[in-house]
Amino acid sequence: MLEGLDPEQREVATALGGPVCVLAGAGTGKTRALTHRIAYGVRAGVLAPASVLAVTFTNRAAGEMRGRLRQLGAAGVQARTFHSAALRQLQYFWPKAIGGEPPRLLDRKIQLVAEAAARCRIRLDRNELRDVTGEIEWSKVTRTTPEDYPAVLAKSGRDAPRDPAETARVYALYEQLKRDRSVIDFEDVLLLTVGVLQDRPDVADTVRRQYQHFVVDEYQDVSPLQQRLLELWLGDRESLCVVGDASQTIYSFTGATPDHLLDFRLRHPGATVIKLVRDYRSTPQVVHLANGLLGQARGRAAEHRLELVSQREAGPEPVYTEYADEPAEAEGTARHIRELLDSGLPASEIAVLYRINAQSEVYEQALADAGVPYQLRGAERFFERPEVREAGVALRGAARAGGNDTLLDGAGDLPSQVRAVLTSRGWTTEPPAGSGAVRERWESLAALVRLAEDFGRARPDATLADLVAELDERANAQHAPTVEGVTLASLHAAKGLEWDAVFLAGLTDGMMPITHAKTPEQVEEERRLLYVGVTRARRFLTLSWALARSPGGRAGRRPSRFLDGLRPGSGAAGGRRPGGGGGVERGAGARSRKRRGPVRCRVCGRTLTDPGEMKLMRCEGCPSDLDEGLYERLREWRAERAKELGQPAYCVFTDKTLMAIAEAVPDDEAGLARISGVGARKLDRFGTEVLVLCAGEELPASAGDTAGDEDGVAGGGIDEGPGDGPEGTGDEGAAEDVTTAVTEEAGK
Ligand code: ATP
Ligand code: MG
């Protein structure tokens, strides 16, 4: 159990008695030390699995932690977010502590906030509504009442997004409406649990008898409310281990503060404080940049920074690339990703990270155009899909019937049994033709089959009942199975994770730091966000920015100020320079000097900036001269092709590109090549067939008979979030502990 740990990590794992605080930088093995500590304690017989509560930041992290604990032989330990642990306790104690049925949990509070605003006769547009919702959430996690809100806000030094008195009125009415309707929101779960534990010693006693040992990951981002809950769970006991990195505090805007981490010893004078400095995740090149970034940081978190020392072999230097415009940046990034995939790196080992979720669309387009499958983080909500729920019911039924289920006759191991049951629900070995709902349903079932296969591999002796239990666990945690695809995620959502190759995109001043970061503290938080991004990379790191938003637009942007002195050619601050020299690369468009002209609507001539409209080459609202019949034929052809290639349809062409083809009806290669989304690679693979269809001719029956094409993307990739086209950017899953509207705001 202790073999895979270095001496300091071992100290974390073996100091099972008293309070322990681990202060350490990114990639130093904090999470690893934490899981080993639990597993070691369980093995040594010091910790009873059911008496341990491990708290992590997101449901996904909790799911991963459960997986790791199981592998280390410590199944049965609860790993949850603050929110999900509290919700469970609340539901359990509600009838006894308060009486009656527990209230319903509000899905999306924004609607109720809108109603409250309307009743206060305050008109709010979508963005204002989100701002006010964010303020309400901030108030709740900082335990601020509506009456106190204006004063507390003034004291916090933050800019109010709108008149505080108005916000306070909406907040008060929103609370009233919730009470009237017996619903509670996300924050109420924590508030009510804290209330019950404070007021009812008998309930607190029961909880404390159940949980005696606590570990908390990502402790730098704990909110005052979560901290209070932790104290109530703990009582006067000392079996607590917290780990965190003040330099990765990125949720201060939700009321979180690293003070709890940094002042741990003040509250627990006997605490063992352990520092880890060996970075096991990233190459010296990546670590050098991370250290350089933190070298310029200011504020309390920065005072506690530790210089990281990479334990890995040397790797490539980080690459800095400047592009003329955003679509060019996305296309350049997609091209690099294609090269990495061609060199054998799995898609699941690659991520594109950006500051706000709205940036994803142009990357979705570019990846789709390059035939690269992707998954949007936070967009899954997999277990809520009806087909997944129905499949779960069928699997549970089969598990209950055990060997007596005729469905399972002759089915061998666990994955075969699952395939047998799901076949009865419409799963087939081959995906159905076409896209849309049928295909989506199939993709969900296929993901379940894959999940069963992975589970069977990890636990060869697992039964169907074990799998059903696992599915329930995951469903509770909203932990969708991983799909083979490049990850697209906001920097906030990337916390705690790692990939071999990371692309940090859109690093312009204005986006990083984001324009609305005004105070020095807010700017420092942005710098930490970039630090989090940099330290996600194991080996390949690319940082890019675009000088203009759209082709032909004014090139008035400059790269992020955080890269000054670090990026080649920006003047060495304090003698720091990324080693190895090398300059900033010029991406397509920037390199050619011949900047692309603006894309204009071919109907009304307006300059287009929306990526979707740019693809269509006209405004969404302008009349379309779409050849409907051709469009349908193209879609059918695409479905066939996607099926043969075992890829999502968008990897052949996106809806927008097909639409543009069916509008332009090109009659030669040059005409086809002018359509956005038809690159050289796609022209080469699909050009002839598309032109045949455009000419109104039939394709020969054998056309496209290239199944198993060596170009096929590893794993085929399931189209998890965005459906058939890249239109849907997905919503940040409200499932995660922190994905309240505030974080949506920050993450978007
Ligand atoms: P973050 O701050 O980003 O959450 P962390 O400190 O939690 O990072 P981990 O995710 O636990 O770091 O570890 C980073 C990587 O280094 C993981 O791939 C982990 O398996 C590996 N690692 C950690 N400690 C060791 C070790 N002693 N030997 C080998 N690999 C290690
Ligand atoms: Mg970690």
Q: What is the pLDDT of residue 382?
A: 60
Residue-wise pLDDT for 169-181, tens only, equals 999 999 999 999 9
Of 382 and 724, the structure prediction assigns the larger pLDDT to 382
pLDDT (tens digit per residue) in 199-226: 999 999 999 999 999 999 999 999 989 9
Q: Considering only 45-59, 70-84, 112-126, 453-467, which range has the smallest mean pLDDT?
A: 453-467
Q: Say yes or no: 524 and 662 in one domain.
A: no
Of ligand 1's listed atoms, the one at least distance from the Cα of 28 is 6
Residue of 505, 506, 676, 663 whose CA lies nearest to 599: 676
Q: Residue 702's pLDDT is what?
A: 52
- pLDDT (0 to 100) of residue 581: 40
CB atoms within 10 A of CB 233: 24
Q: Does 458 lie in the same domain as 500?
A: no
240 in a structural domain: yes
The answer to whether residue 99 is domain-embedded is no
Assess contact for 517 and 531: CB atoms under 8 A: no
Helix 30-43 and helix 7-14, axial crossing angle in degrees, nearest 10? 50
Please report which helix (H) or strand (E) contains residue 368, including its range: helix 360-369
Judged by its nearest atom, the ligand closest to the C-alpha of residue 532 is 1
Q: Residue 613 carries which side chain, given as an amino acid letter?
A: E
Confidence of residue 562 (pLDDT cuts 50, 70, 90): very high
Q: Which of 11-15, 139-143, 447-451 has the lowest mean pLDDT?
A: 447-451
The percent of residues in the chain predicted with pLDDT above 90, rounded, is 43
Q: What angle do CA 472, 477, 480 make, to 5 degrees?
A: 85
Both 649 and 728 in a single domain? Answer: yes
CA of residue 492 to ligand 2 center, whole Å: 14
pLDDT at 342: 92
The model's confidence at residue 745, banded by pLDDT at 50, 70 and 90, is very low
Q: What is the average per-residue pLDDT within 343-360?
A: 88
Angle subtended at Cα 316 by Cα 314 and Cα 318, rounded to the nearest 5 degrees: 120
For position 725, what pLDDT does the model report? 26
Cβ atoms of 375 and 721 closer than 8 Å: yes
Q: Is 27 in the pocket of ligand 1 (CB under 6 A)?
A: yes
Q: Is the CB of 31 under 6 A from ligand 1?
A: yes
∠410-413-415 over CA atoms, to 5°? 105
Same domain, yes or no, for 638 and 742? yes
Asked whether residue 687 is assigned to any structural domain, the reply reads: yes
Whole-number Å distance between alpha carbons of 288 and 297: 15
User: Residue 584 domain-assigned?
Assistant: yes
Average pLDDT of span 376-398:
73
Q: Which of 170, 99, 717, 130 is nearest to 450 (CA)?
A: 717
- Is residue 207 domain-resident? yes
Does residue 530 have a pLDDT over 70? yes
Ligand 1 center from residue 192 Cα (angstroms):
35
Specify whether 485 is located in the same domain as 370. Answer: yes
Bridge-based pairing of strands 537-548 and 499-504 is: parallel
CB of 30 sitting under 6 A from ligand 1: yes
For residues 43 and 175, state if they share a domain.
Answer: no
Looking at 150, 181, 212, the residue that finishes a domain is 181
Confidence band of 439 (pLDDT split at 50, 70, 90): low
Q: How far apart are the first and last CA of the chain?
A: 41
Structural tokens at position 731: 């919503």
Same domain assignment for residues 151 and 202: no
Asked if residue 544 lies in contact with residue 326, where contact means CB atoms within 8 angstroms, the answer is no
CA-nearest of 388, 523, 491, 450 to 732 is 491
Measuring CA to CA, how many Å separate 355 from each of 52, 182, 459, 507?
35, 37, 38, 8
Q: What's the CATH number where 702 sits?
A: 1.10.150.80
- Provide the sign of the torsion angle of the four alpha carbons 75, 78, 84, 90, taken in this order: positive
Q: How far is the CA of 361 from the centre of ligand 1 (A)?
A: 31
| Maximum alpha-carbon separation in the chain | 81
Confidence of residue 281 (pLDDT cuts 50, 70, 90): very high
Q: Closest Cα to atom 18, ligand 1: which residue?
A: 281
Q: What is the mean pLDDT of residues 626-634?
A: 85
Report whether residue 387 contacts ligand 1, using a CB cutoff of 6 Å. no
Q: Are residues 345 and 409 in the same domain?
A: no
Residue 476: pLDDT over 70: no
Least confident range from 77-86, 154-163, 680-689, 734-743: namely 734-743
Q: What is the mean pLDDT of residues 438-464?
A: 78
How far does Cα 230 stand from its chain's mean position?
26
Mutate to test the pocket of ligand 1, among 5, 9, 31 (most ligand atoms within 8 A of CB): 31
Question: Between residues 498 and 455, which one has the greater pLDDT?
Answer: 498
Q: Any idea which ligand is nearest the CA of 25?
A: 1
Cβ count within 10 A of residue 606 = 13
312 found inside a domain: yes
Supply the pLDDT for residue 743. Answer: 37
Span of 224-238, 331-345, 426-440, 507-521 with lowest mean pLDDT: 426-440
Q: Which of 60-64, 516-520, 535-539 has the highest mean pLDDT?
A: 535-539
Last residue of a domain, one of 217, 244, 276: 276
Provide the CA 421 distance to its chain's centre, in angstroms: 31
Asked if the structure places residue 74 within a domain, the reply is yes
| Residue whose CA lies nearest to ligand 1 atom number 24 | 29
Q: Which positions ≥6 away from 45 have C-beta within 8 Å?
A: none
Which range among 416-425, 432-441, 486-495, 652-661 shows the weakest confidence by mean pLDDT? 432-441
Interval 535-549: pLDDT, tens:
999 999 999 999 988
- pLDDT band, residue 327 (cuts 50/70/90): confident
The ligand that comes nearest to the alpha carbon of residue 9 is 1
The SS3 call for residue 7 is helix
DSSP 34-75: HHHHHHHHHHTTSS-GGGEEEEESSHHHHHHHHHHHHHTT-T
User: In terms of domains, do 166 and 203 share one?
Assistant: no
Q: How confident is the model at residue 712 (pLDDT cuts 50, 70, 90)?
A: very low
Nearest C-alpha to atom 15 of ligand 1 is from which residue?
A: 281
**Which of these, 283, 285, 279, lies nearest to 582 by C-alpha position?**
285
How many domains is the chain partitioned into structurally? 5
State the pLDDT at residue 716: 26
Model pLDDT, residue 404 = 57
Q: Are 360 and 475 within 8 A, CB to CB?
A: no
- Mean residue pLDDT across the chain: 82
Domain check: are 419 and 306 in the same one? no
pLDDT band at 350 (very low <50, low <70, confident <90, very high): very high
Element (DSSP H or E) covering residue 214: strand 213-216
Pocket of ligand 1 contains residue 5 by CB under 6 Å: yes
Give the pLDDT of residue 407: 57
Residue 446, pLDDT score: 80
pLDDT for 447 equals 75
**What is the reported pLDDT for 256?**
87
* 513 cis-preceded (ω within 30 degrees of 0): yes
Between 67 and 381, the more confident residue is 67
Q: Is the dihedral of CA 55, 379, 748, 334 positive or negative?
A: positive
CB 333 within 8 A of CB 589: no
Tell me which of 143, 160, 181 is where a domain ends.
181
- The residue segments making up the domain with residue 441 are 382-466
Spatial separation of the C-alpha atoms in residues 459 and 70, rounded to whole Å:
10
Would you say the CB of residue 360 lies under 6 angstroms from ligand 1?
no
Q: Which amino acid is at 372?
A: V
- E-assigned strand segments in 566-663: 585-586
Which range is most confident: 333-337, 395-399, 443-447, 739-743? 333-337
CA 674 – CA 684 distance, rounded (Å) = 14
The two tokens of residue 620 are 């969404």
CA angle 498, 452, 490 (to 5 degrees): 25
Residue 330: pLDDT over 90? yes
The predicted model gives 268-284 an average pLDDT of 95
Of these ranges, 138-142, 217-221, 442-446, the one predicted with the greatest mean pLDDT is 217-221
Q: CB–CB of 246/261 below 8 Å? A: yes
CATH number (domain holding residue 581): 3.40.50.300
Domain membership flag for residue 611: no
89 pLDDT band (50/70/90 cuts)? Answer: very high
Task: Please say whether the beta carbons of 588 and 332 come within 8 A.
Answer: yes
Task: Give 718's pLDDT tier (boundaries 50, 70, 90).
Answer: very low
E strand or H helix at 393:
helix 386-401
Residue 739 and residue 648 in one domain: yes
Residues in the chain, total: 748
Provide the pLDDT for residue 591. 46
Dihedral sign computed on CA atoms, order 354, 355, 361, 362: negative
Residue 537 backbone dihedrals phi, psi, to 5 degrees? -85, 135
Q: Is 497 in the pocket of ligand 1 (CB under 6 A)?
A: no
pLDDT in tens, 693-706: 998 888 876 544 43
Q: Please tell me whether residues 119 and 260 are part of one structural domain.
A: no
Q: Any idea which residue has 């799963």 for tokens?
A: 427
Burial of residue 469, with CB atoms counted within 10 A of its CB: 0-12 exposed, 13-18 middle, 19 or more buried: middle
**Average of per-residue pLDDT across 376-388:** 62
Q: Considering every ligand atom shown, identify the ligand nearest to the alpha carbon of residue 32 and give its number.
A: 1
Nearest Cα residue to 222 out of 205, 244, 201, 204: 244
Predicted TM-score (pTM) of the model is 0.73
CA–CA separation, 328 and 335 (whole Å) = 10
